[in-house]
Every structure is written in structure tokens, then in C-alpha cells.
Structure 1
Amino acid sequence: MTTEPTARSHPRGPLGDPHLRRLVVGQGLAAVVDALFLVWLTLFVLELSKPGIVTGFVLVAVALPRAALLLPAGVVVDRLGPVRVAVAAAWLRVAVLLALGAVITITAPSVTTVALIAGLLGAADAAYFPAALAVLPAIVPTEKLSRVNALIQGAESAGDLVGPAVAAAAVAAVGFDATLAGISAMAVLAAIALSTLVRVVRRGERAGDDAGSDAVHAERLSSTRALGVGLRYAWHEPLVRGMLAAVALINIAVVGPVLVGGAVLADQRLGGTGSLGAVLSGFGAGSLAGSLMAGWRPPARRGWTVVGGVAAIGAGVAGLGVVTHVAAATAVVSVVGLGSAFLGVVVVATLQERVPKWLLGRVLSLVVLATVALDPFSYVVAGLLLPYGTTTLFLVCGGAVLACAVLVATSPTVRSLR
């Protein structure tokens, strides 16, 4: 009996197999599309209305469906298979972008119309993100997971680094319609690349291929029950629980302070708000370097790498409390970005390797939730602490992350991780 060739059957270089190249190209392009579209959407809404709460309303319209549907999407990924869900979500994203392009070309859309269409994109993202992460173990050999994760996350970091400038320049040069058409074309290429992977995964590959198949079959009676099984696994498995807690705390203690607190810091100490761009560029550059470092030389002792990464992030955030020059602030934020990206590759690759396949979609949906859905809480934390000064803000948040590093270091499960 013959089977479809898989990436696992080609023991070549890191990306010597064409399936791996298509995977990296597809997911990398999708990440760049996300970065460009966010900037395009912000600029377009500003064009429709005055700056203020309306812009936030549209961005919330994207974020809310994404956050609300992430956990149910994890159940769908485990039931239907990550490749099928990722491909379907990629084409749904294309359809939404094309629909938005048609609306802005043919009509003069209101902010509400744009928000509703953008909300559909958020719903598609909820399915795409956990599926895209869960696809990798089905395509990528275990020994290459860190490198492929690093390349994909590196593309995301590169998009975040150059996306604002590229999107803004494109809008200025060719207008909103043509820029969105270009973004949509990139989304089509990403979807095509991912679609070629469907046949790579054997027809019989399902979430229940391992010892958990009976449990998966029983869960088909109730999506709520299936979700509960995933949540209980994440809670009772020390490694998963610890990593999710660390990711969530870092997100809360870093995103708001760096963005909100960084703007105030730039105005008060670094010579004006214009210096914020340089500081945030440092974060993007550090993230790109961290991703590539994690893939170039995967750590031999992952447990202590996790501890060191969390500690580096905490020290960097705390260090922002005492910087007084743009160069120093940029360097410190670069360390935070480097540690965050390096840690992200290690955490995701570890979970992809160790979580049972029949639970992987649900667990990775929790990782995405901890990464993208807690930003509002981080902004609230920054807002509550800012009245006490930027020094207090950064020292408290950095101290919280350092305390997290100590707690992670006390876990025998994490310390022994290799």
C-alpha cells in the first residue's frame, strides 16, 4: 500500500524538503499580511473619521471575535485536523479581504460596515492561529520544529518591523484600494502555498491517531465536553500550566507598559514622542534576532533557557525605569524583544512536541489566547500604574516578570526540560 510522501520521509537539510518550504512561505506570508493589514486598517479608519474612539472601535471589532472564538476553534482543529482548518481559514481570510476591497471600491463605506467586515477577519483568525501552530508537528520532523517555528516567527517579526513603513508608503503612493489589493494578493499566495500541504498529511491522519483516539470519539457528542477536557489537561499538566502562566504574565506585564509607558517615557525623558518610533523599532529588531537565534541553535537545556528568557524580559522591563537616553532605551527594549521571541519559539516547539496530538489544537488555542487576548488587561495595568510615574510602572512590571522567573525556576518539571 502506498502513501502520500510526507516531510518526515525526506531527511534533508532544514528546509531541503519542498513541503517545508511551502509551509514556511505560506505561514510567513500570512504573518506579513497580518502586519500590513493592521496598519492599512488603522490608516483607512483615520481617513473615514477623526482620530479617537472610532479607531479603537474598529480594532476592537477585530479583536473581540478572535478572542471569543479561539477556544472553540481549538476544538474544531482537534476534530477536523489542523491542515484542513488552517487552509479553510486562510481562504476565508482571502474572501474577507476581497469583500472589503469590493466594498471600498464600489461604495463609500461607513465605519460600521468596515468594522463588521473586519470582525469577520477576526473570526477567521481565531481558527487560523491555533491551526497554523498545530500544523507544524504534522508536517515537520520533530528535530526541525524549533527551526521552522523560528523562521515563521521571524517572518512575523520582520512584518512588524517594516510593516508600518511599507503599508504607509504604499497607501501614500498608490492609495488605499491598490494597497489592499496587494495585501489580498499576498493572502492568496499564502492560501495557495498552504493548500498544497493537504495531500502531504496522510488521509488517515486524525486527531485520534494516538492513545487518545477513544477519548476524541467520545467527545464528539459534546463540544463543551471536549473543550473541558482540553482545559483540564492544561491545568493538571505542570509543564503546560507553567508555560501558559508565564506567557500570560509576560504579555500583561510587557505589552501595555512598553507601548503606553514607552510613549510617556519618550515624552518625558527621551527628547519627545518622536523617539518612540526608534525605541519600538528596537523591539522589532530584537524580536527578529531572537527568533533567528532560537532556530539557528536550539537550546540543549530548554528548562533553564525558559527561566533565563523570562528573567531577561523582566530585567529589561525594569531597566526602562532608569534609562534617560534614546540609545539606552532602544538597547534595553531590544533585549526585551529578543527574550520574548526566543522564549516564544522554545515554548511553542516544546508544546508541539509534548502535547498529545488529539489535544494539540485546544492547548495551542490557549497559547494564542494568552498571547493576543490579554492586551486590554495590559493596557489597564499600565493605566493604573502610570499616575505613580514611569519608574514605578516599569519597576513593578519588571519585578513581576522576575518573580515569575523565580517561580518557574522552582519547578522540577521545567528545570529538567530538555
Structure 2
Amino acid sequence: MQVFRYPNPEDWAGITKRPALDSEQLTATVKDVLHRVKQEGDSALFGYTRQFDGVHLSALTVTREEIEAAVEMVPQNLKSAILQAASNIWKFHEAQKQQPEVVETMPGIRCWRQSTGIEKVGLYIPGGSAPLFSTLLMLGIPASIAGCREIVLCSPPNKSGKLDPAILFAASVVGINRIFKLGGVQAIAAMAFGTATVPKVYKIFGPGNQYVTAAKLLVQQHGLAIDMPAGPSEVAVFADGSANAGFIAADLLSQAEHGPDSQVLLVTTEENMVEKVLNAIQQQLSSLPRKEIALKALENSKLILLHDTTAAMALLNDYAAEHLILCTNDALALSEKVVNAGSVFIGHFSPESVGDYASGTNHTLPTNGYATAYSGVSLDSFVKKITFQQLSATGLQNIAGTITAMAEAEGLSAHARAVTIRTSSEEFAIQLKDLSRKL
């Protein structure tokens, strides 16, 4: 990790810049894959799976028999853990349901908003060296609660042409059975455009590397919705003198092991915390199975010493981390100063990994500074909110003058006529008479 002591505020943005691939080359590569999948369909999918995953598949679809066999392979202790996590995630997201509230804005004018599940959604679950079955719970559960009619799952196959058994068990817990052996950009393309095998969806969810993120951003140009630009994982930690250096090192490494393009950031106001954390990182790295991956991520990572908490929170809000951990005794009070973050972990005993797996909050979060404007995935991500209005004759009479005056001022006389043709009609007069008699 690079160490910066008391940098000037004008240097913060440069110091905390995220790692990035050559965007021009990346975009060109992704565009080519998207175009070929759109034009060639399944043929391109099989070809890219051979090229990128090194797997020769005879079919893209995961069969019921494969799902059942995989479920039997998952150890009972892991099944129990997944079920506990699923229960907590379900509780947290179920509580986000909202009943329609009818508002009478004027006498005779009733307006309300109602949530309707997006009919067809696609979930992308990273696989490879770290199959993220936890992400499937985070996406599949709110999709189910929202009432999405069709849920499509894509995840890259391993070298044996199989999906990780825990991913398939998690899918069975959530109730997803349209599952495809597809990873990377080709998976995003398949769900965006549809092929003979993979159905086209209306919105795509799920994290991934910079190629996957670029693919999601590009398919938006074809009218497809995405959850957010969720790219390589990141964490920022703020620590004062009350923090435990070992805890901090573990939190930083828990994100560094995600991938070589991840970034971790430590901000502290304590000079002696710098060496303590660096030493703890070295000690913990020696026993980390994904040590080489973590070391690559640490090359992109920063440790910043600042004079006081005010400066620290200003820098952290500018950085807008995906995950923000506050390791201080007054962490709850300090959390009120957070305005930009995907998810906040408060106090010495709130490790980020709890939110990754099982506390109940969603771990699909905005990265790369997008937390300044984006929220993490929630039940709202899987619904459309449709507004409704219903006017009685009295309601239309009450608002008619307002509408016609505004429409005429904008030069939109047909808008005004849509009101006056009704208020001057015989049906309108009859309705008003009927209403007056009832009153």
C-alpha cells in the first residue's frame, strides 16, 4: 500500500483515483463481443465460452438433473449457512414493501402510486475462482419478493463445464430454474439481446469486472436497463486511536482478495496506526490462500494519514466508497456525517464481510465513485412505480381552468381541448347533476 501523510485537499482526488484499464481498448473489445452475440446468437456464445473460459460446452442450459445433483454435493453446514443468510436477506427486503397511498390533491382528484415487478430480469453471478453464490441470494430474493415473472441466471462454468454447486443450491433456495452456463461480456450480451436459448430480459443485475461493467453500460444504449455501474469491489476504512490494527488489516484484505483490480483505502488520524496496520497486513497475508490476488490489489491501494476527523470524513465523502467501515468508539455519531457511500459498517464489531453474506442488507452496491448518485440494490430495483389518477366530474371541473390556462400558455391547444371537450359535454353536465343530488 502506498502511504500518504497529510496530503493537501487538492491532491486527494489524484491520490484516491481507482485503477482502470485502457478504456479505449476495453470498449472496443466489449463492443465486438456484443455485436457478434447480437448477430450470431448461440454460435457466438459457444465460441466465446471456448475462448474466454476454456470450456467446450454441448449445451448452455443447466438441466434439472444438474441442479439436483449439485444440491446433493453441498455440505450440510454450508446449506444451513445459506438458509440462514437467505432468511435474513428476505426479512430485510420484505420490510421494504410499500402499500399504495391514495392522495386526494383536490376534491374529486385521487392520485396514487403502485409498485409492479419488472416482468423479466437477468442476474449475472460471477464465478471462476470465487463463485459468488451470496450475490445470487442478494439479487434473487428481492426479485422474488417483487414478483418478477421471469428470472434468468447466468454464471460462468468451471473447467469441467459445470456451475459451482453452491450457486445452484442458492438458486434452488430462491426458486430460480432458468440457469445458463455463461460468463463475462457474452452473458450480458445474451440477456440483453436474447438468443435461441437465452431469453431477452428488461433489466440486468449483478457485479463483475471492468469488462462486465463496460458491457452493462453499453447495452443501455440499446434500451436495456441495468442496476448500476457495479465494477471491481472496494472498501474504505476510517480508524482513530481506538481501532484494532488486526481488525483493520482483515477488513482491507477481505476486499483485496476479490480481484487484482480491487482497491482498498485506509484513512486514519493516528500516526502509529500506519505501521501497525501495515505490519498486520503482512502477518495476515502469509496465510491467505488468495495472497497473490490480494498483493496485486494492494498495489492499487492507499493509506492516508490526516490531521483530524473532519478532514477524514471530507475525503471519504469525496471518495464515495462502495463499503465504508467506521472503526471508532463514536462510530454511530460519526455515521451521521456520511453522505456518499454504498453501505456503512458502524463500530469495531461490524466487519464488511457480514454485509457481504448474511446481515440482511444487500451487497450489490455502487463502486468507482458512483455512490455519489446511486443506491445499492433493494426491492425498489426490481419494481416499476406506476402512477395512477382518477377524476370525478367535480374533480375535472375544479382543475379545468388551471389546465387550460397552462396548456394555452405553452401553445398546446389540443391539451386544453382534451379538458374543454369534456366540461362542455352533456355527459359531464349529467354527472355533475347526479353528484349534486347525492350531496
The answer, yes or no, to whether TM exceeds 0.5 is no
The structure richer in strand per residue is 2
Q: What TM-score results when the alignment is normalised by the length of structure 2?
A: 0.20
Q: What TM-score results when the alignment is normalised by the length of structure 1?
A: 0.21
- Say which one has the larger Rg: 2
